Amino acid sequence: MANTSFRAFGIASSLSCLALLISTSCSDSDDNKSPSPLTCANPGGAVSGAADSHCGSSATTIESAACTGSGTTAFSPGLHIAHHDAGHEEDGGAGEYGPTLSNTEGDDDECKYHVKWAPASDTQVCANGDVYFDVTVTTKVDGTPARNVPVRPDSFLNDTHPSVPRNTGYKETSPGVYRVGPVRFDASGNWTVRFHFHEECVDGEHSPHGHAAFYVSVP
C-alpha cells in the first residue's frame, strides 16, 4: 500500500510540474499580445525638426502589377508576424534609404506614400518596455488610405545597437491605419525607427515596396 501511495504521489507531482512548465512556456511565447501598461516620468516621442519636404510636389504612382519577384518577407492576411532583422539596416539612412525624418509625419523615401505615426494610446515610449505605434499610410498621388499594406518596423540606436529582437506584427485597425509592434528600446537616446511597406515585393520605381524612417526620442 505504501508503494502504491508513493507511486501515486510521484505521478501527481510529475503532472503538476509538467502543467507548470507548459503554463510558463505558453505565457512567454506570445510577444505580440497587448503589453502591460508601461509609464515613465517623461515619456518620449518624436524628435522635433524641420518639416519634411524632400518630395515636394513629386509623387510616384504605385502599381500593384509592379509587385514582382520575391522580396524580403512574405505575409498572410490577419495579424502578421515578421522577423526582426537585427543587423539589416543600421546605416542611419544611408545607401538605398533616404534620410531619417524628424516630427511625426513625412513622405517615404521614394515619394509613394505619406506616413504619419504616433505611439499607440495604450503605450508610452519608455526604455525597456514594449511600444506599439499607430501608423497611418496614404498614397502620395491622391491621399487615399493605403489599404492592406504589410508594415514592419526596424529600429536601431546606432550602427551596432539594434532594438531588442521581438516578434513584431501589424494589424490594420481602420482604412490605412496600422497598429505596429512591439518595439523594445533598451537604452535612452534618439533612435531611428524605419517602417517598411510591402516587403513581399521587390523594390522598384512603381512597386508598392517602400520605407520611411523617423527619429524617436527614448528617455
Task: Tell me the pLDDT tens digit for each residue of 133-148.
Answer: 999 999 999 999 999 9
> What pairing do the DSSP bridges indicate for beta strands 45-46 and 161-162?
unpaired
Residue 162, phi then psi, degrees to nearest 5? -80, 170
- HSE (CB half, 13 Å, CA atoms) of 167? 11
According to the model, what pLDDT value does residue 39 have?
Answer: 80
Residue among 47, 196, 73, 216 at smallest CA distance from 131: 216
According to the model, what pLDDT value does residue 68 have?
Answer: 83
Contact 182, 30 (CB under 8 A): no
The model carries a pTM of 0.76
Domain count, the chain: 1
% the chain with pLDDT above 90: 67
The answer to whether residue 31 sits within a structural domain is no
Sequential DSSP letters for 104-127 = SEEE-TTSSEEEEEEE-TT--B-T
Question: Which one is predicted more confidently, 74 or 40?
Answer: 40
According to the model, what pLDDT value does residue 123 have?
Answer: 92
The answer to whether residue 27 sits within a structural domain is no
Residue 27, phi then psi, degrees to nearest 5? -70, -25
pLDDT at 45 over 50: yes
**In CATH, what number is assigned to the domain containing residue 151?**
2.60.40.10
Q: How confident is the model at residue 36 (pLDDT cuts 50, 70, 90)?
A: low
% the chain with pLDDT above 70: 71
The answer to whether residue 6 sits within a structural domain is no
Q: DSSP 3-state helix, strand, coil percentages of the chain (rounded to 5)?
A: 15, 35, 55
